[in-house]
Structure 1
Amino acid sequence: MKWQAAAVREASRTGDYGKVIELVRQDQRMTQAQLGGAIGLSQSAVSRLEKRGARTYSTDVLAAACAHLGFPPALVGLADSRPQGQANGDDDVDRRQFLGGVAATAATPALAALPAETGPGSGQAAALRLSTSAYRRLDGSTPSRDLSEAVRSHMRLIQSVSGTAAGDGDRNRLAAVGSEAASLAGWLAWDMGDNGSARVWYGSAVKAARSSGDPLLAAYQTGSLAQFEAHAGNGTEALNLARRARRVLGDRRPPVAEAWLLSVEALAHAADGDRRSADRALTASRAAAEALPEEPPPWPWVFAFGPEKVTACRVTCGARLGLADWVLSDDVAALATGHAKQRALLVIDIAAGHLAGGRVESAFALARRALETGLTYKSGRIVERARALRRTLTANAPPKVVRDFDERLHGAYL
């Protein structure tokens, strides 16, 4: 069956857009979990989407699904370039859930579409946002240095378009788009090992989010900067930023924001060497993650955040604190999520746990695998993390696996 098939056409004609998605997905031998992973939904959320279609999800989710499955947007009631308004009054509510975009994996969340896209500038904002989403999709399979210049050019275009915006509504929408693109530029700089540029871009993302007037976006970008600072070893700065994100949202912060910010705080405490505080934050984050409702979180928390993400965070905290039991006591096989670069970073954390437990050979066998991924994707961040791991071993006569690692690491200048 192709998307031109009579069953697909009939489902589209009757407005059963969930059925359209289901039929095309099945024809491509794709599971609900695989589709959900590609567009930022859980398997159960995809099941609900296929059963109820446009009555449940925003047009942005439908657009993401059709883009991934490769069929024309018109089959799910969308125009070719932007979502069509729907007749019922639920559309504004659905749009504010913002589960659109082509989501990347957990460590690289993609922001969703802008709210209530109406007015002359809304089409520009939607088109620019789609370009950012496309670049985010490429991040998982493309070296960051190959994407960086394109994203910078994209940022310049957003700035140029923003300069001609006619009203406050258009300026706010374009500021949000600029915030998303700046955050992506920060992520790419970080992956290349350029922390100075990454910090500048993340700071720009925070400023643009504030200009957009959306407290959720401002809190998200502030939390993202906090996460970066925690990984960079600046625990106090990360804690201050995470607390600032909390203040922006106040008491009405969504449950996923609470769970996520607690995990960021755990990383910050680990960066400061505070095991007890990190453990408390992780425990609270896991409890909050386990209590999250089944329905999709509000934008911009479009990535799936659950207990498995807290488990991965605990591994990273354990690596920072030198706690082998934190790293090795969890189900490592369950942590093999995300794209190759993200998995490589987690493998280095697991290697650090092995090294802390005295398992030198297994540690560097893992580290060698991660290093190969870093070299394949020219990821300065992975290579530098591999170098940092090597510096923690001071043995005068290292085993052969370490000598092989040293040989591969020598001359790895990206």
Structure 2
Amino acid sequence: MLPTVGTQNTDIDWGSFGDLKDAARSGHYGLVIRKARTIAGLTQGQLGTACGLSQAAISRLENRDDGTYNMNILANAATALGLPFELVGLANQNANGLPVERREFLTAVVAAAAQPIKTVEAAVPRWDNSPEATLRISTSSLRRLDSTVASRDLSESALTHLRLIQTIAREAPDDAHRARLASAGSEAASFAGWLSWDMADHGSARRWYGSAIKAANHSGDRLLTAYQTGSLASFEADTGSPTEALRLVMQTRHHLGPDLPPLAAAWLSSIEATAHAANGHKKACDRALLACEQQAALIPDAEPVAWPWIFAFDERKTTACRITCTAHLGQPLHTRLSESDIATALSSSHDKQRALLTLDVALGHLATKEIDAAFTLGIRALETGIRLRSGKITERARRLRRAYSAQTPPSIVRDFDDQLHSAYL
């Protein structure tokens, strides 16, 4: 039977083992892990299971002698064994071979997750106490859960919610009620599309987004129809159809006409920028990014709009868009953003969105050959993807891996490969 690692070893006086302290002082942290594992009576396979790693990954960690280590793997192994972090150089040394400022930046990225997210409630219509308003609030609640709950676990609730809306709509007393229920149904169908997208079920995602657009048309809400069409455009830009995404953005702008609210204009420009970047059109991307930032600056002074979002479109969103575009274009991050900008963009407490953006940041580091920085971030983001069973995050991680090739990849890339493999098990 596998021992319960990480709890049974808390009574071990690690400081009494002189050879452990000698190995730690010399910077041989892999040797520290090997000796501690032996003291704890564990095999490499058992420690790997406790850390969520393969036996081969533990073996590489223990036998490394070049002084560079993956900070994340070291921390996992030390935690599983109950080792004090200072014995593996994580308290006051540069444990992963990166410059100190880079290591501190990566640590700040993790700490940023604890910061609160700014949110805005979807505008509540005049029928506050109606079933329609209650159904919309339920959809917003499910969207909030999407931040930290696996899409597969939310999917059945989302579909049940949709069926409830359909049932109530069939019993609606008049066209006005049916129109309002169509609005609620459109938002619920859009959320089902979002969940399918996260699960990498692209066929279902397109079908649900199509249903959301159709329901929005029935509701008579032009802004809602624009939002759902834009949502489909965002999906197409991300999944390999940027030309279709641009067509949908143009269609949405035409549908709304000249009275485009700044919030809608900024959001559509961000999608346009991403699509141009995916097509490799740098100048067009830059024009769209500039428009996005200019329109976003107008949002605070504009009239509130009935918009089916629960997350604000603010400076963090525009910065995140710039990071994603930079990743698509294969350009170095430092040519477009400061590390402070990057840390701000990664401050979202929405786990899935932060993981996706972290992978885009990793691609930016890869463009400047910062292999350790890129795959340290990649490993961290992929951990979230595995925990939340997100096909979208896994596919973005595969994009990072395809961007790097070497006959003999360094150990951190092999560790990333092990983790990527486990995402499909």
**How far off its partner does 1:153 sit?**
1.1
State the partner residue of 2:183. 176
Structure-2 separation of matches of 1:306 and 1:156: 34
State the partner residue of 1:209. 216
From 362, 371, 389, give the equivalent of 1:351: 362
SS at match of 1:141: coil
C-alpha contact 2:165 2:185 (8 A) present in aligned 1: yes
Query: Does 1:337 find its partner at 2:347?
Result: yes
Structure-1 separation of matches of 2:347 and 2:249: 25
More RCO (CA 8 Å, sep 6+): 2
**How far off its partner does 1:301 sit?**
5.8
Query: Does 1:220 find its partner at 2:227?
Result: yes
From 328, 331, 335, give the equivalent of 1:323: 331
AA partner of residue 423 (structure 2): A
SS at match of 2:257: helix
**How far off its partner does 1:178 sit?**
0.3
C-alpha contact 2:333 2:361 (8 A) present in aligned 1: no
State the partner residue of 1:146. 153
State the partner residue of 1:249. 256
From 87, 102, 116, give the equivalent of 2:126: 116
Which string of whole-angstrom CA distances, capped at 9 and with x for unpartnered residues, describes residues 300-319 of structure 1?
16432223311110110111
Query: Does 1:374 find its partner at 2:351?
Result: no
Which string of whole-angstrom CA distances, capped at 9 and with x for unpartnered residues, describes residues 61-110 of structure 1?
xxxxxxxxxxxxxxxxxxxxxxxxxxxxxxxxxxxxxxx4xxxxxxxxxx
**How far off its partner does 1:198 sit?**
1.0
Structure-1 separation of matches of 2:404 and 2:249: 33
State the partner residue of 1:391. 402
State the partner residue of 1:90. none
Alignment of 1:121-132 (within 5 A): 123-132=130-139
C-alpha contact 1:316 1:327 (8 A) present in aligned 2: no
AA partner of residue 268 (structure 1): A
Which range is displaced more, 184-193 or 322-331? 322-331
**How far off its partner does 1:327 sit?**
7.3
Name the CA shift for 1:214/1:206 in 2 (closer, same or farther; >3 Å). same
State the partner residue of 2:23. none
C-alpha contact 1:328 1:354 (8 A) present in aligned 2: no
Query: Does 1:307 find its partner at 2:315?
Result: yes
Which string of whole-angstrom CA distances, capped at 9 and with x for unpartnered residues, describes residues 281-330 of structure 1?
10111112123333563011643222331111011011111011467633
Which string of whole-angstrom CA distances, capped at 9 and with x for unpartnered residues, describes residues 167-199 of structure 1?
111011000000010111111111111111111
Which string of whole-angstrom CA distances, capped at 9 and with x for unpartnered residues, describes residues 221-269 of structure 1?
1111111111112111101111111111101111211111111110111
AA partner of residue 404 (structure 1): D
Name the CA shift for 1:225/1:378 in 2 (closer, same or farther; >3 Å). same
C-alpha contact 1:318 1:327 (8 A) present in aligned 2: no
C-alpha contact 1:344 1:371 (8 A) present in aligned 2: yes
Structure-2 separation of matches of 1:413 and 1:134: 30
SS at match of 1:362: helix
Name the CA shift for 1:311/1:38 in 2 (closer, same or farther; >3 Å). closer
Please tell me whether Structure 1 or Structure 2 has the larger radius of gyration of its CA atoms: 2
**How far off its partner does 1:162 sit?**
1.0
C-alpha contact 2:119 2:312 (8 A) present in aligned 1: no
SS at match of 2:306: coil
State the partner residue of 2:239. 232
State the partner residue of 1:283. 290
State the partner residue of 1:196. 203
Which string of whole-angstrom CA distances, capped at 9 and with x for unpartnered residues, describes residues 105-133 of structure 1?
xxxxxx443x3318xxx722122222212
Structure-1 separation of matches of 2:202 and 2:130: 34
C-alpha contact 1:206 1:218 (8 A) present in aligned 2: yes
**How far off its partner does 1:38 sit?**
5.8
Structure-2 separation of matches of 1:190 and 1:319: 20
State the partner residue of 1:15. none
Name the CA shift for 1:402/1:355 in 2 (closer, same or farther; >3 Å). same
The number of equivalent residue pairs is 307
AA partner of residue 382 (structure 1): I
Structure-2 separation of matches of 1:158 and 1:316: 36
From 255, 258, 267, give the equivalent of 1:260: 267
C-alpha contact 1:328 1:350 (8 A) present in aligned 2: no
C-alpha contact 2:272 2:285 (8 A) present in aligned 1: yes
Structure-2 separation of matches of 1:349 and 1:200: 27
C-alpha contact 1:319 1:327 (8 A) present in aligned 2: no
State the partner residue of 2:104. none
Alignment of 1:34-73 (within 5 A): 37=117, 39-40=119-120
Structure-1 separation of matches of 2:391 and 2:258: 39
Query: Does 1:409 find its partner at 2:420?
Result: yes
Question: Normalising by structure 1, what TM-score?
Answer: 0.71
**RMSD over equivalenced CA pairs, Å:** 1.9
State the partner residue of 1:86. none
Structure-2 separation of matches of 1:288 and 1:154: 35
Structure-2 separation of matches of 1:301 and 1:180: 7
Name the CA shift for 1:232/1:203 in 2 (closer, same or farther; >3 Å). same
State the partner residue of 2:17. none
Name the CA shift for 1:38/1:353 in 2 (closer, same or farther; >3 Å). closer
C-alpha contact 2:323 2:333 (8 A) present in aligned 1: no
Structure-2 separation of matches of 1:370 and 1:239: 29
**How far off its partner does 1:165 sit?**
1.3
5+ residue gaps, structure 2: 1-114
